[in-house]
């Protein structure tokens, strides 16, 4: 029997959202979820009998064919984790703010801004959920993988706990600190032409409190995609840099984004 190889196209309302109860105290999560529903954002979903219905295949498709300007999120089945909903929503918000109505290729800066916001929000969610309750699937996957990456950088268990304590104490500040780091490092790496240049970039940011977490965020995919497809991989995008500067100067960067990028 020939198995179906088709990826279905489904709305968020067609999916089961896992672990959503863990985020019910975060009003911003509900805003992000409702935006995806209102804007009719679609997902590509493997059929049960499809050879694409495996985590390794879906991971490959998402990492290799990631796009800053077009929705390409692929799921193993008709379910999705709540943290992924938020991540997809920030990509969608960035897409509307940065690429809407534009037929030209995106700049590397624009790609990195959207990705840094979506990824930094993952850490914000850690800060808002850690210590609240047991059985949070998001924490059970995110925190151990972050700890493993940090341990590889020589961070002790005690120091990693202290890092997380800082995130819990001020999740909004943690979001912006990580967003800045991811944007700065990715932008600098995209301008590198060899290993020496890349190692110099990592050395430059080695003292940042979240430097031990950098390789948790698949930076190689960001940089390679930008080098392959960005309109201007080594030139500053003036409009994007202005947004980046506004976020750095805002009292609370997430408030700035919420007011300007998300529906009321």
Q: Residue 7: its pLDDT value, please?
A: 87
Q: Residue 147: its pLDDT value, please?
A: 96
Tell me if 39 is assigned to some domain.
yes
pLDDT of residue 102 exceeding 60, the answer is no
> Cα separations (Å) of 168 from 121, 130, 131, 208, 231?
13, 7, 9, 18, 38
Query: Which pTM value belongs to this model?
Result: 0.92
At 184, list the tokens: 């700065």
At 110, list the tokens: 């624009």
pLDDT of residue 2 exceeding 50, the answer is no
The closest alpha carbon to 174, from 219, 121, 217, 104, belongs to: 121
Tell me if 46 is assigned to some domain.
yes
Tell me if 2 is assigned to some domain.
no
Region for 88 from its dihedrals, namely left if φ exceeds 0, alpha if ψ lies in -120 to 50, beta otherwise: alpha
**Torsion sign over Cα 206, 208, 213, 217:** negative
Provide mean pLDDT across the span 234-240.
Answer: 87
Q: Residue 31's domain spans which residues? A: 7-261
Q: Residue 100: its pLDDT value, please?
A: 67
Tell me if 84 is assigned to some domain.
yes
pLDDT of residue 1 exceeding 50, the answer is no
Tell me if 196 is assigned to some domain.
yes
Beta strands 42-46 and 74-75: pairing type?
Answer: parallel
Overall number of domains in the chain = 1
């Amino acid at each position: 029997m020939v198995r179906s190889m088709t990826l279905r196209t489904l709305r968020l309302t067609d999916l089961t959202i896992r672990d959503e109860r863990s985020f019910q105290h975060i009003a911003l999560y509900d805003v992000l979820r409702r935006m995806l529903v209102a804007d009719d954002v679609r997902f590509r979903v493997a059929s049960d009998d499809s050879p694409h219905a495996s985590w390794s295949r879906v991971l490959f498709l998402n990492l290799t064919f990631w796009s800053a300007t077009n929705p390409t999120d692929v799921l193993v089945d008709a379910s999705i984790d709540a943290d992924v909903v938020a991540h997809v929503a920030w990509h969608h918000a960035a897409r509307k703010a940065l690429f809407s109505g534009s037929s030209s290729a995106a700049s590397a800066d624009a790609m990195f801004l959207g990705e840094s916001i979506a990824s930094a929000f993952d850490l914000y969610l850690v800060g808002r959920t850690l210590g609240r309750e047991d059985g949070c699937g998001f924490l059970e996957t995110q925190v151990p993988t972050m700890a493993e990456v940090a341990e590889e950088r020589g961070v002790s268990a005690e120091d990693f706990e202290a890092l997380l304590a800082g995130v819990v104490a001020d999740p909004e500040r943690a979001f912006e600190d990580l967003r800045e780091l991811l944007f700065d490092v990715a932008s600098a790496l995209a301008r590198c032409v060899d290993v020496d240049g890349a190692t110099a970039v990592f050395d430059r940011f080695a003292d940042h409190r979240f430097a031990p977490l950098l390789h948790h965020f698949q930076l190689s995919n960001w940089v390679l995609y930008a080098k392959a497809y960005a309109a201007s991989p080594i030139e500053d995008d003036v409009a994007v840099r202005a947004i980046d500067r506004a976020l750095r100067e805002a009292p609370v960067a997430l408030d700035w984004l919420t007011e300007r990028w998300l529906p009321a």
